Amino acid sequence: MSELVRGSHFCTCSLRSQTKMEETNKNKISELRQDLVTGDWVVIATGRSKRPKEFSEHGRQEMKENPDKLCFFCCPEKTGQEKDVLMYQNSEGEWTLRVIPNKYPAFSRGARVKHIEEGPYFMMDGVGYHEIVVTRDHKKQIAELDGYQVAEIFDAYQDRYISLMNKKSVNFIEIFHNHGVEAGASISHPHSQLVAIPVISPYINLELTGAENYYRTNRKCVYCTMIDWETEQRKRIVFENDEFLVFCPFASRMAFETWVIPKKHKPYFERTPVESKVKAGEALQKAIFKIFKGLKDPAYNFYVHTSPCDGRDYPHYHWHIEIIPHTSTWAGLEMSTGIEISTIRPEDAAEYLRSI
C-alpha cells in the first residue's frame, strides 16, 4: 500500500518528519491533510483562502419569532412540556437550568428494543431517550454566559448521562448543541439535546477503531499524541487552562473547527471529577466566545464525543468536544466524496481566535 493513501494510524514514521508537509508554499493551490484518528482526508484550499475576518461578513440567518406565542422553554409547564427530569435553582429559588423530555422525540422513551428482519435487510425500533437541556435566559447563548454557568451546563450533561447510561435500551449517548437556523436549531431559546440510543454512532466507531489501531502500532493514545504535539508547536492552540486544551485540529473539516479536550488521558466523559467541571466550562465558554466574537455570531454545532456505554472497555479512546461553525455549504465534491474543504489554514484560524 502506498504511503500516500494508507491510513495514518498505520504509518510508523515520526510526527517530526511529517512537519515537512506544513512548510509554507505560496504557490500551492491546496493541501490534502489526513485526520490522524480516522484516516479521513480534508482539503485545505489555500489557493482560494480567505482572510479570517472575511468569514464574519455573512453572519447567520436570524430566526423569526412570533411575539404572541409562548416560548417552549421560557416556561415549559405552560406550553405542555413534560415534567422536568432535572432542575437547578439559585439561592432565590429561581430555576437556572432544567432538563425536560423532548416533546417531539426522535426515539420512543423506555421501550424495549425489537429487532426486525426484512429479506436481506435488518432494522430495529427507534427506542431510547431524547431530552432537552435548557438555560433560563431566552437571549444569552453560551458565548455570553459566565464560566461557572457553562460548568453548570456541563454538570447537567454528566448528570443525565449517568442517569441514562445503564438503561436496557441504551448503548450510546450523544450530547449536542445547535445554534442558529443553519445548524438545525428550530427554537431560538438556547438549549442542548441529549439522545440515548441502542446503536453506536458510525463516526464514533471510526474514532474508536482509529484510536485502537494507533495504540497497537505506537503504544500511545492518538489523542495524547496530538495534545503533546500541539502543546509543543503551539501554532494551532486557541486557549488552554490547567486541565483543558482548545485548538483547531490539523485536519479541520470546516474553517474554524475547534476542539476542547482534557490534557490528561480520559476515555470517559461521565467520569469527569467535580473539580474539573469548572475548568471544562471555562474552556468551552472561551472557545465559543472567540468564535462568536471573531466571526460575528455564526451558526455552529458542538457535540461531546466519548466512549460508548455498552458495557465494553475503551481504554485507548479520549473524550473531547468538537465545535463546528457553519462557515461554508457542502457542494458536489463534498457530498460525492465525503472529502470536506476548508478555505483557511487551521494555523491561521487559531492565530485569529487567539487574538480575541
Per-residue confidence (pLDDT) for residue 60, from 0 to 100: 58
350 and 214 assigned to the same domain:
yes
148 and 220 assigned to the same domain:
no
135 and 96 assigned to the same domain:
yes
Whether the CB-CB separation of 356 and 290 falls below 8 Å is answered with yes
Q: 10 Å Cβ neighbour count for 83?
A: 9
Per-residue confidence (pLDDT) for residue 118, from 0 to 100: 87
- In which residue are the cell numbers 448503548 written? 171
Residue finishing a domain among 197, 219, 252? 197
80 and 184 assigned to the same domain:
yes
Q: 10 Å Cβ neighbour count for 201?
A: 17
Per-residue confidence (pLDDT) for residue 242, from 0 to 100: 97
Is 88 part of a structural domain of the chain?
yes
Per-residue confidence (pLDDT) for residue 113, from 0 to 100: 78
209 and 136 assigned to the same domain:
no
Is 18 part of a structural domain of the chain?
no
| Mean pLDDT in residue range 219-246 | 98
pLDDT digits (tens, 9 = 90+) for 266-314: 999 999 999 999 999 999 999 999 999 999 999 999 999 999 999 999 9
> Between 114 and 332, whose confidence is greater?
114
**Span of 75-84, 171-180, 222-231 with lowest mean pLDDT:** 75-84
| Mean pLDDT in residue range 118-143 | 92
Split into its structural domains, the chain has a count of: 2
Q: Is the pLDDT score of 253 beyond 50?
A: yes
262 and 212 assigned to the same domain:
yes
Is 208 part of a structural domain of the chain?
yes
Per-residue confidence (pLDDT) for residue 156, from 0 to 100: 98
d(CA 167, CA 123): 20
> Between 157 and 113, whose confidence is greater?
157
346 and 210 assigned to the same domain:
yes
Per-residue confidence (pLDDT) for residue 123, from 0 to 100: 85
Q: Which residues pair with 123 in a beta bridge?
A: 116
Specify the 3-state DSSP secondary structure of 112. Answer: coil
Is 20 part of a structural domain of the chain?
no
Is 61 part of a structural domain of the chain?
no
260 and 325 assigned to the same domain:
yes
**Which triple of cell numbers denotes residue 288?**
465559543
189 and 233 assigned to the same domain:
no
Read off the CATH number of the domain in which 174 is found.
3.30.428.10
Confidence of residue 7 (pLDDT cuts 50, 70, 90): very low
Is 7 part of a structural domain of the chain?
no
26: DSSP letter: T
Is 344 part of a structural domain of the chain?
yes
Per-residue confidence (pLDDT) for residue 110, from 0 to 100: 63
Confidence of residue 54 (pLDDT cuts 50, 70, 90): low
> Between 251 and 25, whose confidence is greater?
251
Domain region containing 123 = 76-155+166-197
Q: Which of 174, 152, 136 is nearest to 285 (CA)?
A: 152
245 and 350 assigned to the same domain:
yes
d(CA 241, CA 246): 9
pTM over 0.75: yes
CA distances from 158 to 75, 99, 242, 333, 351 (A): 24, 12, 21, 38, 32
189 and 88 assigned to the same domain:
yes
Torsion angle (degrees, nearest 10) of CA 181, 340, 174, 277: -90
Instruction: Measure the N-to-C terminal CA separation of the chain; round to a whole number of Å.
Output: 44
Residue finishing a domain among 146, 179, 197? 197
Is 12 part of a structural domain of the chain?
no
248 and 325 assigned to the same domain:
yes
